[in-house]
Amino acid sequence: MNVQKLMAEGLGTALLLISVVGSGIMGEALADGNTAIALLANAIATGCMLYAIITTLGPISGAHFNPAVTLAFAMRGEHAWRDVAPYAVVQVIGAMLGVWAAHLMFDLPVLQTSTTMHRTGTAQWTSEIIATFGLLFVIFGGVRHKPDTVPTLVGLYITGAYWFTSSTSFANPAVTIARGFSDTFAGIYPGHIAMFILMQIIGVGIGHVVLTRLFNKM
């Protein structure tokens, strides 16, 4: 396995979580109790970071930063199955390091467990299926028709999906796991992580069935 690719995936995922958690902390601190403003700040910062890391690291590793995306590429035959586990491992490690870095920047305890309890139930689970499917839709649609727009498409999609999904569009198992260890605006109670990840995998499966047909060369 190419070490440079693993480094890119780990660093990119770390930077993604720094933006997710850090902007959540900052947004909540400055919004004076206005959750909508905090979420807006969180969404914009995350979308901007996604554009930056996909643009700079995409040529090295493909810029997955997400085990669900890696799995989807493998199912399409565009990523070696033997490389799925290494990618997923460094993505999770990078995500955890990113969370801890965000805590350090805001002078919070590094080791935390989230107490955010509202991220569960049918609405949230359905949202994660749709959010993951939508992420793959813009990725594979962009790759098929205009590859140079993928960073913009993903950044814009996630910025929007923070608002049009009740779960705020995690759509990423590594992100989901890491956010379980941040008792901040972006957190998710660890007991709710497994169902989020299951829904994300279901979203990958639906995406594979639909998108391989939709974006096949005619």
pLDDT per residue as tens digits for the range 43-97: 999 999 999 999 999 999 999 999 999 999 999 999 999 999 999 999 999 999 9
Q: What is the pLDDT of residues 68-79, one digit of tens each?
A: 999 999 999 999
Side-chain half-sphere of 201: how many Cα atoms within 13 Å?
Answer: 8
| 82 secondary structure, DSSP code | G
Interatomic CA distance for residues 4 and 74, integer angstroms: 19
- pTM to 2 decimals? 0.96
**102 in Cβ contact with 181 (< 8 Å):** no
CATH number at residue 13: 1.20.1080.10
List Cβ neighbours of 205 (8 Å cut-off, separation of 6 or more): none
Give me the number of domains the chain comprises. Answer: 1
Q: Are 162 and 134 in contact (CB under 8 A)?
A: no
In tens, the pLDDT along 112-143 reads 999 998 899 999 999 999 999 999 999 999 99
Banded model confidence at residue 161, pLDDT cuts 50, 70, 90: very high
pLDDT number for residue 218: 59
Residue range(s) defining the domain that contains residue 135: 3-214
Can you say whether residue 77 is alpha, beta or left, with left for phi > 0 and alpha for psi between -120 and 50 degrees?
A: left
Mean pLDDT on 7-11:
98
> Where does the chain have alpha helices with state H?
3-30, 35-61, 67-75, 84-105, 122-145, 150-164, 173-179, 193-214
Confidence check: pLDDT of 1 > 80: no
